Amino acid sequence: MSDLSGSLLEYFPALERAFDYSRSKAALTLLTKYRTPDGIRRAGQTRIHVWLKKQGARSSAAVAATAVESAKSQHTIVPAQGLGEGIVAALAKEVFTLNEELADLDALISEKVSEHQHTQVLLSMPGFGPVLAAEFLGATGGDLSVFQSADRFDGVVGLAPGPRDSGRISGNHHRPRRYDRRLLRVFYLSGLSALKSCPASRGYYDRKRTEGKSHIQAMLSLARRRLNVLWAMLRDGTSYSLPVSLAA
């Protein structure tokens, strides 16, 4: 995506700044046909809007209006335009193909992960979708008994800082050097997602920030709390409910 933005920036900076092409499918669709200032001005807002709508693009009217406004701000044709627009067209099509392949992969992951006995428990916890659930099951096999206890599992994930005291200095804690970065990523990302959808997670995070912890420290603290809750859920075979334990 950075290559696409970089190529577009060389000859049409106003259009490059107008959209986040990693998030807007409609804007990416635009680049497969309309990607130069003069081409967009000739087509006009109505024609572009109608074409985008036929492609199934959302917010087609707004994207068309923004594209035309960007085109009106640039009337100079820079030398790099001829080469640049060809590169942008090719890259936009490649991104579309890649997105389709990723969508197919996500569908396959969702299908396969649904077959595991612990999937419904995992998916019931805010922040866990099929992909993160699959990563968790791939790293653990879903059998947490091999870790013996939640505290031991905390250490494997890297959420249980160990003491690193020296001389008269005590209480100095750091994350262990050896831990499963894949599992840490799962709990960190699921925690970030839960901040948007789970009041208990948001409340716990906000309380840690009020106590003076940085964003990273508060997120790691939330991740450890969520790990302990998930451990109990998998141990007992129970789905997530508004927990007193997470908010406590």
Task: Tell me: do 58 and 145 sit in the same domain.
Answer: no
Read off the pLDDT of each residue in 1-11 and give the average, rounded to a whole number. Answer: 84
Task: Tell me: do 134 and 242 sit in the same domain.
Answer: yes
Distance CA(172)–CA(164), nearest Å, equals 5
Task: Output the CA angle 102-108-110, nearest 5 degrees.
Answer: 105
For residue 194, the model assigns a pLDDT of 92
Task: Tell me: do 224 and 149 sit in the same domain.
Answer: yes
Last residue of a domain, one of 83, 111, 139: 111
Task: Tell me: do 102 and 26 sit in the same domain.
Answer: yes
Q: Retrieve residue 232's tokens.
A: 């109990």
Task: Tell me: do 123 and 233 sit in the same domain.
Answer: yes
Distance CA(45)–CA(47), nearest Å, equals 6
Task: Tell me: do 16 and 135 sit in the same domain.
Answer: no
Task: Tell me: do 61 and 82 sit in the same domain.
Answer: yes
Is the full-model pTM beyond 0.95?
no
Last residue of a domain, one of 45, 77, 111: 111
For residue 245, pLDDT over 70 is answered with: no
Identify the top-confidence range among 23-32, 133-142, 238-247.
23-32
Task: Tell me: do 147 and 232 sit in the same domain.
Answer: yes
Task: Tell me: do 81 and 155 sit in the same domain.
Answer: no
Distance CA(125)–CA(86), nearest Å, equals 46
Per residue in 217-244, is it b (16+ CB within 10 Å) or e — as a string? ebbbbbbbbbbbbbbebbeeeeebeebe
For residue 68, the model assigns a pLDDT of 95
For residue 35, pLDDT over 70 is answered with: yes
Last residue of a domain, one of 89, 111, 133: 111
Number of domains in the chain: 2
For residue 103, the model assigns a pLDDT of 75
Dihedral of CA 129/135/136/142: which sign? positive
Q: Which of 18-22, 68-72, 77-81 has the lowest mean pLDDT?
A: 77-81
Dihedral of CA 87/90/94/95: which sign? positive
List the domain range (segments joined by +) for residue 161: 116-247
Per residue in 31-51, is it b (16+ CB within 10 Å) or e — as a string? beebbbbeebbebebeebbeb
Distance CA(116)–CA(200), nearest Å, equals 27
Task: Tell me: do 126 and 195 sit in the same domain.
Answer: yes
Confidence tier at 134 by pLDDT (50, 70, 90): confident
Task: Tell me: do 65 and 9 sit in the same domain.
Answer: yes
Confidence tier at 247 by pLDDT (50, 70, 90): low
Between these two residues, 179 and 173, which has the higher pLDDT value? 179
Q: Computed over its alpha carbons, how large is the radius of gyration of the chain?
A: 24
Length of the chain: 248
Confidence tier at 61 by pLDDT (50, 70, 90): very high
Read off the pLDDT of each residue in 142-151 and give the average, rounded to a whole number. Answer: 78
Confidence tier at 172 by pLDDT (50, 70, 90): very low
Task: Tell me: do 28 and 147 sit in the same domain.
Answer: no
Distance CA(149)–CA(244), nearest Å, equals 21
